């Protein structure tokens, strides 16, 4: 059953070893691709495969094959020198042995080991030992050779860590353990059953393989069959995944609704106003929006109600402050509570004849679990399947990726959400259909390109100087954690690199928003469309040792852009009055000629306040993940802005007062020297907090599926 070494030439032996090494690692790549990429498509209807997933997968397969080939070549040299019995199974065993060792070592290097990881590592070491004994013992090979196949070994290696993380995640403050089995004993029993089933199936497959395939020769036929079987399985998975229902029909037109203007609401995730050239930034980040500003009202002092996506969008959709609607981080809901059962903007417009559709890139916090789909006839919140999930580093692809980084810019495959161009590819056909109808439309579009990790395409990636190509998404997130934990300060070089990429992402986003506006003009609906462009919150880049968002109510977090182009208007003007997210719903409904529902806390921004200083509020709620990083985040912050004065109160007792006209970067705290103003604003803010009615009851939104989405965007770790 074996082929002696003397019967094969050295080149053929080396070629066989190289082949078996590549085959074993590619077999593992097929199983891993199914587990990490295709499984979400089979188990949910809110995932989508983007072209870059397949491009990255092709690169990964080539990298896996290359690593396996190198290992196989080395193994064949060792076997030729020290072993006299060379056969197909000898090379296969060597390849599987090295693969198993590599997987176990990678698993043990995880930053936070789980007990299932130890089981997976133990399986890997046992498979490596089994492969080693098979090389030297024909009798052992006959008994336990069924465990040494590349596909069988790959399944056994992945089963424990994958099942534990994907189907049976450990109970945490983020997870209420709603999936069965719920008990630890049942979960471990399920793992053992899965391992036994794989082993039994492999044993049966080996028996069948012996009947249909010869064991002679250095190159296998049954393995080819298994490879094709694996590829066929992937193809079948894709067929099921792409078998989607047709989009629902839009409502029929009505004479009453046809007279109203269309509404386009554009939300730019994580855009701070002071990095937009339309707001005076020195870099030309928003030339298209500057052109758009010639037809629009640009609000120079637009304030976000909060420093997080969920709270700010809920305020845009309800006209209520977060303290009223309750859709934010809550002690009982650390990931955030869903919107209460109050009328949303989409529901109000749809009830009055609007055809309502939404396409969003932020698939986590704009997910239906939080209530944002209410009122939309079509709502596309699909999440792209990730190639490199930062929370699933147990896959060998992450280690192989580090090797591939030396040859290719692999950060292009670190995408977490659909790009603006990919969002527009869904929006444009939808917009064309909406424009052809007689009734008005409400189209909500959310872009996320300025949210980390930032992946603008060329030439925007290097549009502005300072980007360090060595700063990958992994190193970026490691830096964020270090700075937030106050282990170190953000260096000037790191900040310049981050800002170069942020500004490049802004320029790309501006380009795509310009394409959207151009599409409106091509379809002939630009003039009769109310266009609202704003952002949910800003972003910190090391100021006060703060990074990203959901961290404070400083201006870098809550000073956002707001541009409104009113129907049949080309009046380009700048508005100095302070406005808030809560003003958007009443403004849109007023322009549409619709009554306001009860409980609205905003105003129509077209209505002057007769010279009175407008007072607006903003809040930063306790973020449990950041509290785990640093106890300084164990607080809630509230801000009141009246005219140019801004007061910040913290539940830690801190009070800060700033004059934004003289000190826009909030460097000089005037609380000690301007006590009268500080006291007056403090009393107003305290009275407002006490007077706000508690939020209506809303369903929990921290189910296991949404936890995975929030983890993928960095909201949970």
Looking at residue 260, what is its pLDDT? 93
Under 8 Å between Cβ of 95 and 24 = yes
Q: Which of 185, 180, 176, 155 is nearest to 168 (CA)?
A: 180
Q: Are 127 and 97 in contact (CB under 8 A)?
A: yes
Per-residue pLDDT at 484: 96
Q: In the sheet that 378-380 helps form, which strands lie side by side, from edge to edge?
A: 378-380, 355-360, 441-447, 262-268, 529-535, 562-565, 297-299, 573-575
Q: What residue segments make up the domains of the chain, in order of their start?
A: 3-241, 261-382+418-712
Report residue 110's pLDDT band, with 50, 70 and 90 as the boundaries.
confident
- Please give the residue that has the higher pLDDT: either 273 or 697: 273
Q: Is the pLDDT of residue 228 over 80?
A: no
Mean pLDDT value across residues 208-218: 59
Please state at what angle helix 51-82 crosses helix 396-404, rounded to 10 degrees: 90
Determine contact, residues 257/354, Cβ cutoff 8 Å: yes
Least confident of 493-502, 589-598, 641-650, 705-714: 705-714
Q: Tell me how far CA of residue 396 lies from CA of 20, 28, 36, 119, in angstroms.
A: 18, 9, 11, 16
- Mean pLDDT lowest among 53-57, 378-382, 611-615, 702-706: 702-706
CB-side neighbour CA atoms (13 Å) of 134: 26
pLDDT 10s digits, 365-411: 999 999 999 999 999 999 998 888 777 888 988 887 777 777 777 77
The alpha carbon of 479 is separated from its chain's Cα centroid by a whole number of angstroms, namely 18
Burial of residue 29 (CB within 10 Å: 0-12, 13-18, 19+) is: buried
Confidence class of residue 419 from pLDDT cuts 50, 70 and 90? Answer: very high
b/e per residue, 339-357, with b = 16+ CB within 10 A? bbebbbbbbbbbebbbbbb
Whole-model pTM: value is 0.87
Residue 111 has pLDDT above 60, yes or no: yes
Q: In whole numbers, what is the pLDDT of the chain averaged over residues?
A: 85
Domain 261-382+418-712 falls in which CATH fold? Alkaline Phosphatase, subunit A (3.40.720)
């Amino acid at each position: 059953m074996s082929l002696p070494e003397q019967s094969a030439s050295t080149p053929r032996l080396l070629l066989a070893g190289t082949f078996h090494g590549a085959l074993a690692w590619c077999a593992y790549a097929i199983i891993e691709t199914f587990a990490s990429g295709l499984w979400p498509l089979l188990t949910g209807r809110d995932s989508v495969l983007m072209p870059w997933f397949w491009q990255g997968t092709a690169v990964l397969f080539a990298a896996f094959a290359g690593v396996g080939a190198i290992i196989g070549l080395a193994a064949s040299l060792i076997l030729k020198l020290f072993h006299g019995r060379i056969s197909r199974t000898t090379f296969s065993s060597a390849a599987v042995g090295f693969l198993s060792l590599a997987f176990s070592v990678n698993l043990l290097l995880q930053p936070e080991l789980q007990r299932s990881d130890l089981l997976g590592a133990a399986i890997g070491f046992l498979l490596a030992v089994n492969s080693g004994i098979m090389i030297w013992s024909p009798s052992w090979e006959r008994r336990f050779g069924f465990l040494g196949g590349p596909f069988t070994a790959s399944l056994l290696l992945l089963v424990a860590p994958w099942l534990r993380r994907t189907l049976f995640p450990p109970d945490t403050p983020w997870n209420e353990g709603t999936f069965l089995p719920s008990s630890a004993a049942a979960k471990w029993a399920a793992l053992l059953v899965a391992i036994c089933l794989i082993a039994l199936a492999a044993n049966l497959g080996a028996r069948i393989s012996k009947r249909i395939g010869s064991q002679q020769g250095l190159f296998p036929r049954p393995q080819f069959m298994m490879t094709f079987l694996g590829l066929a399985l992937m193809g079948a998975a894709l067929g099921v995944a792409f078998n989607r229902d047709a989009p629902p029909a839009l409502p029929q037109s009505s004479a009453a609704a046809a007279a109203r203007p269309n509404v386009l609401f554009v939300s730019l995730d994580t855009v701070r106003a002071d990095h937009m050239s339309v707001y005076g930034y020195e870099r030309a980040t928003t030339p298209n929006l500057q052109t758009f500003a010639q037809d629009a009202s640009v609000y120079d002092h637009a304030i976000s109600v909060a420093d997080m996506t969920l709270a700010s969008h809920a305020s845009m959709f309800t006209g209520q402050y977060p303290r009223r609607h309750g859709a934010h981080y809550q002690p009982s809901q650390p990931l955030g509570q869903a919107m209460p059962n109050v009328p949303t903007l989409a529901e109000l417009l749809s009830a009055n004849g609007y055809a309502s559709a939404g396409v969003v890139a932020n698939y986590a916090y704009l997910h239906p679990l939080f209530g944002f789909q209410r009122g939309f006839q079509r709502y596309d919140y699909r999440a792209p399947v990730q190639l490199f999930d930062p929370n699933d580093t147990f896959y060998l692809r992450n280690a192989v990726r580090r090797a591939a980084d030396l040859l290719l810019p692999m950060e292009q495959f670190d995408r977490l959400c659909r790009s603006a161009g990919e969002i527009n590819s869904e929006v444009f056909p939808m917009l064309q259909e909406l424009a052809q109808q007689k009734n008005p439309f409400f189209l909500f579009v959310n872009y996320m390109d300025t949210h980390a990790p930032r992946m603008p395409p060329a030439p925007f990636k290097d549009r502005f100087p300072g980007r360090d190509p060595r700063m990958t998404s992994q190193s970026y997130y490691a830096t964020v954690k270090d700075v937030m934990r106050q282990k170190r300060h953000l260096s000037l070089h790191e900040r310049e690199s981050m800002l170069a990429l942020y500004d490049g992402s802004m320029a790309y986003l501006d380009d795509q928003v310009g394409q959207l506006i151009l599409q409106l003009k091509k379809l002939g609906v630009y003039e009769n469309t109310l266009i609202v462009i704003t952002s949910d919150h800003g972003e910190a880049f090391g100021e006060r040792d703060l990074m990203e968002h959901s961290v404070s109510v400083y201006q870098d977090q809550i000073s956002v852009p707001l541009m409104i182009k009113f129907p049949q208007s080309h009046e380009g003007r700048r508005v100095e009055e302070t406005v808030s997210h809560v003003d958007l719903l009443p403004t849109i409904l007023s322009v549409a000629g619709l009554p306001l529902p009860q409980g609205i806390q905003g105003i129509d921004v077209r209505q002057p306040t007769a010279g009175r200083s407008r007072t607006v509020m903003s809040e930063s709620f306790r973020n449990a993940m950041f509290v785990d990083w640093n106890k300084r985040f164990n607080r809630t912050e509230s801000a009141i802005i009246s005219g140019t004065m801004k007061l910040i109160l913290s539940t830690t007792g801190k009070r800060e007062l700033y004059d934004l006209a003289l000190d826009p970067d909030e460097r000089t705290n005037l609380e000690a020297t301007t006590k009268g103003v500080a006291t007056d604003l403090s009393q107003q803010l305290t009275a407002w907090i006490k007077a706000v009615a508690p939020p209506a009851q809303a369903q929990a939104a921290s189910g296991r599926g949404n936890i995975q989405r929030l983890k993928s965007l960095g909201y949970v770790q």
